[in-house]
């Protein structure tokens, strides 16, 4: 059983560009959540996907979008990058939601916007 993986590990972009971050869920997990963690802060919930449908969204603008694929891997897309988008982006996967379910986090992608 493999854990949650994310790619790339690090990424540098310039303001106005677009970026795609990828996440492979842990085997058997059909739910994935994305978080943004700014330096020195706790993670902030961006959105969650369940069986390829968005299932909950945090306080992030529409230029943050996502996809979940039939194999439950996921992408986070950010358009029109801003300097404040510089952060560690974490994805977490979980199995079908029942009380007591646990999220498993990937190591994150460090995005720097110049």
Partner 1 sequence: AQSVTQPDIHITVSEGASLELRCNYSYGATPYLFWYVQSPGQGLQLLLKYFSGDTLVQGIKGFEAEFKRSQSSFNLRKPSVHWSDAAEYFCAVGVDPSYDKVIFGPGTSLSVIP
Nearer CB in complex with partner 1: 86/105: 105
106 contacts 23 by C-beta, under 8 angstroms: yes
The site that binds partner 1 (CB under 8 A) totals a number of residues, namely: 29
Strand pairing category for 74-78 and 44-50: unpaired
CB-based contacts of 12: which residues, under 8 Å, 6+ apart?
111, 112, 113, 114
CB of 23 to partner 1, least distance (A): 11
Residue with Cβ nearer partner 1 (55 or 86): 55
User: Which of the residues 52 through 91 are near partner 1 (CB under 8 A)?
Assistant: 55-57, 90
Which of 21, 74, 103, 111 contacts partner 1 by CB under 8 A?
A: 103
Contact 72, 30 (CB under 8 A): yes
CB of 17 to partner 1, least distance (A): 25
């Amino acid at each position: 059983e493999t854990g949650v993986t994310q790619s790339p590990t690090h990424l540098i972009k310039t303001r106005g560009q677009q970026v795609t971050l990828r996440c492979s869920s842990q085997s058997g997990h059909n739910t994935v959540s994305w978080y943004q963690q700014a330096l020195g802060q706790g993670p902030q919930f961006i959105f969650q996907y369940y069986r390829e449908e968005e299932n909950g969204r945090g306080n992030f603008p529409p230029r943050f979008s996502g996809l979940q694929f039939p194999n439950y891997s996921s992408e986070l897309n950010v358009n029109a990058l801003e300097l404040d988008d510089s952060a560690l982006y974490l994805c977490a996967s979980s199995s079908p939601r029942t009380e007591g379910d646990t999220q498993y986090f990937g190591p994150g992608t460090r995005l720097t916007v110049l």
